[in-house]
Each structure stands twice: as structure tokens, then as C-alpha cells.
Structure 1
Amino acid sequence: MLLSKGQKIDVTKGKTLSNISLQFGWLSDSRMSIDASCFILSNNNRCEKDEDFIFYANPNALGGAITHIQVGGVDKEAIKICLSKLPDSATKIAFSLTIHEGEKYGYSMKDVSNMYVKLMDAERNEELFCYEYGSDLLKETAIVVGELYRYNGEWKFNAIGSGFFGGLEALCTNFGLVVEKEDSQEIIKIEEKPVFSSIDLRKKIVQITLEKKKMSHVAARVGLVLDISGSMQPLYKNGTVQEVVERILAVACKFDDNATLDIWIYDNEFSRLNAATERDFDQYVVRNILNNNNIHKFGRNNEPPVMEDVIRKYTIEEDSSIPAFIIFINDGGVLKSIKKVIAEASLKPLFWQFVGIGDSDFEVLKKLDTMEGRIVDNANFIHIKDIASVSDETLYNQLLNEFPLWLKAATDKGIIYK
């Protein structure tokens, strides 16, 4: 099975699987030094001690539960994992690829091709899936390839492929470690300062909102679609859109099994971006949108193509019984053709929460509740003139107002299952 970026897949569910191997391969100039590694993470997404960073200079961890080895042949390096030996404290393992001193020698990920990771049943030497990544990267010198994480007592894999600038040091900082250079040797040390505190309060507010609406046990995949047409340009540059990403990420952290927020942007074209997490939401808009020359921005609006891609991701690429909660931010009129897309999607486990911002009249969106031709009402619209001035409590209450009604209706119709 070939995975796509952002796809999550069961690894152990329904299988007798105790020993796995993640095998990394790539093509590059022989003068480049490229290394695979992994970080053992706790519940707060931190690498709690330097021994939990496994790479060529620290090849073994947890009494041999995880081993880094060099591989001959097409595969370059491998990380072998004995799942039965992993302690309960190891809730997630993040896998990475770095170019050693890439900035110093002028190398970056655009100089590397055919990057992949294969997950193997190590006992049977059987390939379970392969993830090819990195073709969208340019000047980055490190990649978070993917994550192996626990969910309901089973292991799943999340295909990420997110690039970082700054090589090993950037990766370590991302996971709560500090790289200090001493006599030309890299020394990994724990960073003592707290991390991710800026989103903790919002997660608590979301939790309170969910409890009030009797939704504290609901699981959902969360997607955010952002209008990036010309009229939105000031909101991207003044930080309003970044704030929206952070506020919606808090919802994803409470709903999604891997605490990730899937993100799309659109004008007359659309792009599916790297998912946002608690580790990398800071400056997300600057890094992934404003400084990204590979995406189209500040054109005219055209909603149906991006909506169809959202549907494709959640119902074809990642078909699942877990519903998807899609928050759609728009600051002006949408095309009337979205009604056809919404009507056809009413049979799917997706709920569309449209949020109109600014002074437009939103004529089409105001009529969503009276749309005909749907098996259930699968869309809602709220108008928030100045989203930056609305409190988190008010925003979350409005965002989550009709979602529970749809959950019940969709369950009654057999669209989703308890």
C-alpha cells in the first residue's frame, strides 16, 4: 500500500504484529551525509530525556526495544521496533530524516530524491506499506517523516512529510531538546522551559464547551479550509489568520486521535498544506503560506474544487467510520455551485461549518439550512464580523452548536456509526 501525505493508517489493528522495521531510502550526492532518526515522545509530545533520541550515535533505546541500524542495498538505514517491549510512557515515536550540516555545505532537500520509508513486518520480512515524501520540499534540511502512535490500545501511523529549516538542531528544538556544540561535538540536552503552553488554555475552554454540549467523548477528524482570495490579504499579514489556526487547532486536539489539524487554502486554485500540530503551530501561516512560493494566493474565489478535495481525503484516501468536522473560513460571497457539492456530500460522514467574517452579505451561505435534496442537514453557517474580537468561549460555542445535532441525525440515518 502506498500512503499519501497526511494519511493515517492502522498498523497493528487486526494483525498479530510484534516486531516492525521502518526502512528508509533516498538518492543523493555521495558527498552528502543523510541520517534517519527517531524521537520517543510522551503524552505532551516531548522527548523527555536525551536517551530517547535514537540515531547513529545512540542506536539503542529502552533495553533494545528500538534499534537504529545501517542497511546495505537499496534501503539506507532502518529503525527496528519491538512493540511488546515499549513501555506505556512511550505514546508516540516520531521519525525524521536530516542532512548533516546542510546549511554549512549548501545542501537541502531539493538535492535529495526518491525519499521513502517502508514499514515492514520484521518477522515475516513483509512490506505493509510505503510512504514516498519530500518532493514538495526545497530549502529545508530536515523532515519529520511520520509518527507511530498509540490509539485505543493499538498502533497507527501518520504520514507527515513536514520539512524544517535548521537540520538536527531544529528537529531537537521541535521535540523539546537542545543541541549544544562543544569541541565540534553535538551534545543533546533537555530543554527545561515549558512548551506548548500558549494553546493549553484554549484546549481547556474547548473541553468545557464539549462537556456542556455532552460531546466530551466524541471523536472526529478536523479540517480547516481558509479563504486566501485577494480580500483576505490584510488578515493574513496582520496575524488574524494565524490566530484562527491556533484557535481551531485546540478543537482538533480534543477531537482528533492524533491531535492534528488538516489545513487547506484556496482562491481560484487550492492547496492541501502540512497538518498543524501543537509542536509546529507557531508561525504556521508565515512558514507554510506567506513564505511558500509553491502555492497560489490572493486571487479570486472558487470553492467547489477545494471542497471536493476535502471529500476525497476523508472518504476515499482515508475512508473511516470517524466523522470529519470541517471549518470553512470565508470573507465574501461563495459560488452557488457549492450547494451541489454539499448536497452530494450529505451521504458522507462530513459536517461543514462555514464561518463568514467581514461585512459581506453571504447570501448563499445564509440559505444553507433551507437547502433541499439532502438526506440530513450537513452544513451550518455563522457570521462573525470581527473574528479577532470574539472570545474563545463564544467562538467555540458557536462553532460546535449544530455539530451534535448532525451527529445524531447522521447516526439515525446510518451515515456514521457509534
Structure 2
Amino acid sequence: MALLAEGANLPLTGTAVTATVSGPVDVTALVVSADGKVAGDADMVFFNQPTAPGVRLDGRTLAMELTGLRPGAEKVVLVASPETAGATFAGVSVSLTLQHGGEAITITPSRLGVETVAVLAEVYQRGGAWKVRAVGQGYDSGLAGLAGDFGVDVDDPGAPATPVGPGPAAAPPTAPSPAPVPSGISFTKGEEKLPVDMRKKLTLRKQQVALVLTKHRMTGLRCRVVVVMDVSGSTGGLYRKGVFSRAVERVAPVAAQVDDGAEMQAWAMGAEARRLEDITIGTLPQWLERYTAKRYSDAGGWNNEKATIEDVARYVREEPLDIPTLVLFFHDGGVTDNKGTERALRAVEAAPVFWQFVGLGRSNYGILQRLDTLQGRSIDNTGFFALDDIDEVSDSELYERILAEFPAWMRAYYPAGHPALAGLS
């Protein structure tokens, strides 16, 4: 039996798939199209509406025949919510076992607590093949909040009744309705939780990201995004001025456009490499307050680029995806070990990772300034640019600089026909 960690995926054998959830929960399935939305309320399968084309719910078991899904369906989202009305996942143990082609996959979410509903996994189509991805993403707004993200109109009196047993929490009455989504820009899970001003900026910035993706012929790009923040002692002033906070907020729309979960993994680079909590759109304000309101001091006060590069590369190796990883590495300058940093980057040349370094400190960037001219590499896996003042750079220019070299690396790294290139024209 294979164990699948959050964020990881595996190919499925055959199209007859059975998913059984253990624990005191109710199970729901959402059948969605390529835009991440249901086609109608009939695409929501739960105990009051236990069947849809290709999907049948029996207790806590979902039987799926993927060839029988409605036309245009590309994903089945598997959801659990506590049986007790208003209860959270605190103290609740939940796991999902997925059977396919005589094989079994187990998914056990590790980070659920105050949430009242959770996406356990997604069964999705990529490049003509079906796969399963472990998600483990929770919502504290109940099934109604999650359903709204996927386009289910839970307030429509003509819609099927939503589950009463698991108690969908009504959306807070003060929460503003999502703004109309521009053409080509999808609604991002969790953005309804953002303050109005931050949500408006997110929408506009996603437009700018989309324009850059279109310019570089990669409108369907899918990749994992990792953020690394320099937290060495010299960065204290930049954190106090909000520079790192604004930098992270401005790159979050990149993940919103290219990451299926609209999230970023995060590291702090000091004397040690420290993995931080993942960044999601819905929790972005809280994340920024926790990690960028002041310098994160638990990683030590000097730069150890080598350790951080090695730690991120280890994570990518241990949590493989069929898509590349884009690392956005914010650095204030003063590289401690130029030779060690160069060796670390050369050592991960064969990994499916592009390292985009961004200078923020008007300082000596050492080896980082020479990354584009390093000799003896079969492929250029690095980029660097410095911003004297990030607030003086427009969103369109920032995203152009971040993404300009990435598509060329992808086309050089992956062989023709590889699934990762499916979003590039």
C-alpha cells in the first residue's frame, strides 16, 4: 500500500476507482471542469444526492468510473466534514484509502484542526491520464464555504439541500461577495477570506501574471512555487519597513495562477534552513503578520545559502511532482560562502527546479550576480535580478523579471512531449 503525502501525486491504473474515508465524518464529492468549477448543482455528490454521472456515494465510500463522468469533467474533489454539527477536525482522525487497478493508496491529512471541512484528495486528468493528488486543505467556513469556491450555489432555493448532518456553516454575513473574475482569471480558493483591498490587488495582479504567461507562451503553466526569505541579521531593517511583507504578498498571485492548490512552500534562510508554514491565499494576512512583521530569528543571524539550497532540493526530491518547481529566493546581499553556494547550485542542476534569486538589499550579491554566466553546466538552472526599491517596480515588470527565464529553462530541461510542457505552446 502506497502512502501519499500532502502535495504529492501518483498515477492511477485503470478508470474504476474506489475511495473510502475512515473516521466520524460525512463524505462529499465535487465533479469539476478544467476551470475548477462545477457545471451545476448536480455535480455535488453527498448523502442527500448520492449519485452523479460516473460517481456514486454509499456511506463513506465513493465509487468512481472515470470514463463515465459528465462531458468536460476533469477532476473529482474528495471532501470530508465531521458528522457532528458545528464540529471541527480537532481530535478527529481521518484517512482516505483509494483502490485502483488492484493497488491501494492511503492519504492521511496531518494539519487539520480548527477546520470544519477539508479537501482530502483530488482525482484529476493530466495529459490524458488520471492521477490522484493528496491535498489535506481545510476550511473553517464549513461545507458552504468550500462549495462556494467550486461554484456550487448553496443559497439557490431550487438547488438540492446541502447536508444538515455535517452542519455547513453559513458564510459570515459581513464577508463581501467575490468580485467578478476577469476573463481568463479563475477565482482562487480562499480569496473570499481576504480583506477587500488585498483581494482587489490579488485580482489585478493575477491579470498581470496571466499577461506575462501569455507573452511567453505558457498560459497553461503548472508548477510548484517555493519562497525563500533571507532572515540574516542584516535584514532587520527591511522587515521593519515591510519590504519582505510586500515582496511575499506581490508574488502570491504567481502561485494563485500556476499552482493547483494556490499555495507556496516557504523557507527562512539564516545560519540554518528553516521550513515555515505553507502560504495559502486564504491565510496570507496571518502568515505575513507571523513571519514578516519582524525578522524571523529562529534560524540564526548569518547567511547559509548552501544549507537552504540543499534543504529545498531535498524537499523536492522527497515530495516529487510531475511539474517543475520555481524557487523565488529573496536575498539582501552579503553572500557568506560564494564557493559553497556555487557548488550547491551545480549539485542540483539535474533537479526539476529553477532558482530565481531576487536581490532586495542594495548590497554585494557575490556569486548571485554571476549565475547567468557560470560555465560548465549542461543547463542554466538559475536567474538573478536586484531591486533597489521593490515599491518602484510595477507588478507587470516584477512578474516579467520573475518569469522571463523560467519557460526557456523548462523547454531545455524537459524532453518534447513531457506532461510538464503541456501548458506551454
Question: Which category describes the TM-score, using the shorter chain as reference length?
Answer: 0.7 to 0.9
Which residue does 1:383 correspond to in 2?
Answer: 386
Which residue does 1:52 correspond to in 2?
Answer: 43
- What CA deviation, in whole Å up to 9, does each residue of 1:66-125 have, x standing for no partner? 11112xxxxxx11111111112322222111112456x4xx4323112x2211112xx6x
Q: For the structure 1 residues 411 and 51, does the alpha-carbon distance in structure 2 shift closer, same or farther, using more than 3 Å as the test?
A: closer
Mapped to 2, the partners of 1:306 and 1:39 lie a distance apart of: 38
Mapped to 2, the partners of 1:204 and 1:289 lie a distance apart of: 22
Which residue does 1:34 correspond to in 2?
Answer: 25
Which residue does 1:96 correspond to in 2?
Answer: 79
Question: Residue type matched to 2:103 in 1?
Answer: E
Contact 2:9 2:132 (8 Å CA) reproduced? yes
The secondary structure found in structure 2 opposite 1:348 is: coil
The secondary structure found in structure 1 opposite 2:366 is: coil
Matches within 5 A, 1:3-402: 3-11=4-12, 15=13, 17-26=14-23, 34-62=25-53, 65-70=54-59, 77-100=60-83, 104=86, 107-113=87-93, 115-121=94-100, 126-134=102-110, 136-177=111-152, 179=154, 194=180, 196=187, 202-213=205-216, 215-216=217-218, 219=221, 221-227=223-229, 229=231, 231=236, 233-234=239-240, 240-241=246-247, 243-249=249-255, 252-253=257-258, 258=260, 260-267=262-269, 268-271=272-275, 273-274=277-278, 276=280, 281-282=281-282, 284-288=283-287, 290=289, 297-299=296-298, 300=300, 302-318=304-320, 320=322, 322-336=323-337, 337-371=340-374, 374-402=377-405
Which residue does 2:197 correspond to in 1?
Answer: none
Which residue does 1:74 correspond to in 2?
Answer: none
Contact 1:59 1:67 (8 Å CA) reproduced? yes
Question: Residue type matched to 1:68 in 2?
Answer: L
Question: Residue type matched to 1:327 in 2?
Answer: L
Q: CA offset at residue 379 of structure 1?
A: 1.1
Q: For the structure 1 residues 352 and 219, does the alpha-carbon distance in structure 2 shift closer, same or farther, using more than 3 Å as the test?
A: same
Mapped to 1, the partners of 2:348 and 2:55 lie a distance apart of: 43
Q: For the structure 1 residues 141 and 234, does the alpha-carbon distance in structure 2 shift closer, same or farther, using more than 3 Å as the test?
A: farther
The secondary structure found in structure 1 opposite 2:70 is: coil
- What CA deviation, in whole Å up to 9, does each residue of 1:142-171 have, x standing for no partner? 211121222222222221111221332332
Question: Residue type matched to 1:357 in 2?
Answer: L
Q: For the structure 1 residues 212 and 218, does the alpha-carbon distance in structure 2 shift closer, same or farther, using more than 3 Å as the test?
A: same
After TM superposition, the score normalised by the length of structure 1 is 0.75
Mapped to 1, the partners of 2:154 and 2:408 lie a distance apart of: 49
Mapped to 2, the partners of 1:236 and 1:98 lie a distance apart of: 38
Q: For the structure 1 residues 238 and 156, does the alpha-carbon distance in structure 2 shift closer, same or farther, using more than 3 Å as the test?
A: same
- What CA deviation, in whole Å up to 9, does each residue of 1:317-372 have, x standing for no partner? 3164x443322223444542433321101132322111122434333422333445
Mapped to 1, the partners of 2:243 and 2:46 lie a distance apart of: 39
Q: For the structure 1 residues 328 and 228, does the alpha-carbon distance in structure 2 shift closer, same or farther, using more than 3 Å as the test?
A: closer
Contact 2:17 2:66 (8 Å CA) reproduced? yes
Q: For the structure 1 residues 119 and 290, does the alpha-carbon distance in structure 2 shift closer, same or farther, using more than 3 Å as the test?
A: farther
Q: CA offset at residue 291 of structure 1?
A: 5.9
Q: For the structure 1 residues 218 and 50, does the alpha-carbon distance in structure 2 shift closer, same or farther, using more than 3 Å as the test?
A: closer
After TM superposition, the score normalised by the length of structure 2 is 0.74
> Which of 405, 409, 425 in structure 2 is aligned with 1:406?
409
Q: For the structure 1 residues 417 and 119, does the alpha-carbon distance in structure 2 shift closer, same or farther, using more than 3 Å as the test?
A: closer
Question: Residue type matched to 2:112 in 1?
Answer: L
Q: For the structure 1 residues 411 and 90, does the alpha-carbon distance in structure 2 shift closer, same or farther, using more than 3 Å as the test?
A: closer
Question: Residue type matched to 1:361 in 2?
Answer: N
Q: For the structure 1 residues 171 and 333, does the alpha-carbon distance in structure 2 shift closer, same or farther, using more than 3 Å as the test?
A: farther
- Consecutive unaligned residues in structure 1, runs of 5 or more: 27-32, 71-76
Q: For the structure 1 residues 38 and 307, does the alpha-carbon distance in structure 2 shift closer, same or farther, using more than 3 Å as the test?
A: farther
Mapped to 2, the partners of 1:111 and 1:164 lie a distance apart of: 16
